[in-house]
Amino acid sequence: MATIKDVARRAGVGIATVSRMLNGTGYVSADARKRIEEAIEALNYIPNERARNLPKKRAGIVGVIIPDLQMPFYASFIRQVEIDLHEYGYKTMVCNTVEISSREKEYVDMLERSVVDGIITGALSVDEEVYQQIDRPIVSMDHDLGPGIPLIHSDHGKGGRLAAERLLRQGCRSALQIGGLFPANTPSNDRYLEFERVMTEQGVPVRTIRLEWNRTDYAYYREIFERHREEIAGANGVFASDMGALALCHFASGQEIRVPEDMKIIAYDGTDMTRLPCPVLTAVCQDIPLLAGKCVDTIMKLIRGEEGIEYRQITDVFIQEGGTG
């Protein structure tokens, strides 16, 4: 007897796509619909109506997968998600992958086994196919997992542009960005691309210090800065994450580089840690409460089977005035 996996394989689509068409719970393109219908007919596939109509038991838990809880952005995001889920009567299970794909896969498997009712994922360590094979509520923050899974993210391109324009107005003539592109299909890469584009168009050279995929701690930044002393000394404008920007401020003071007189620094994310030092860091801020709220509202709509799901939601970013750039 043919299964839904057989249909998906023959039609050349994911299991989730077949399920959405059968249940009418999401968008399926005309081409995919035609191929699925042909596969169903060829295989004489009969949906299990009894299983489909069984009462749905809920765990009352949503899993939230993030790369590293040590990163200030994700810590702030998790905090707000937990607050918002609690308003819906849901508990939060935090899944900290530390960029290990097997750990992320284990947490995704928990969704398939109904340990949790849905997943909000911000991790970037597994391929999109892992999520596409599961017909359960999933919302992605900052990782494009395909058209059938809602994607919510900040306007990272605008963020990179704001940072570049700010440094240009401050007279930057040699720029450095710390971080570089992620090896994943993520809109967050747009901030690096847009920063470099704007700077290059204005004739300002941009150098990039690329970081290891899974290293974000303060000690690692210090190690990187020691290795790239000359590049840092040659830049009068730097764009980095909150942690990188704060670490660079400390490093610069030990090298007798004055901030902002000799070097302007713009942070990205704008978490609370950027407001702790004196002066406050100049930063491009993501609206973390709004991001978290949209993720939670969307996952609850999916869990409840509601219609009107927005499959691409983009939140604004803004400049935090500070004394570093």
pLDDT for the residue 69: 84
CB of 244 closer than 8 Å to CB of 221? yes
Centroid of chain to Cα 64: 12
Instruction: Compute the C-alpha angle 199/202/205, nearest 5°.
Output: 50
**pLDDT tens-digit profile of 105-124?**
777 777 767 788 999 998 87
CB of 92 closer than 8 Å to CB of 147? no
pLDDT for the residue 280: 96
Which residues of the chain fall short of a pLDDT of 70?
Answer: 1, 24-26, 47-57, 99-101, 112, 125-127, 213-214
CB of 178 closer than 8 Å to CB of 210? no
pLDDT for the residue 51: 42
Quote the tokens at residue 137. 């509520």
pLDDT for the residue 24: 65
Quote the tokens at residue 294. 């949209």
Question: Domains of the chain (ranges plus CATH)?
Answer: 4-52 (1.10.260.40), 61-149+288-315 (3.40.50.2300), 156-286 (3.40.50.2300)
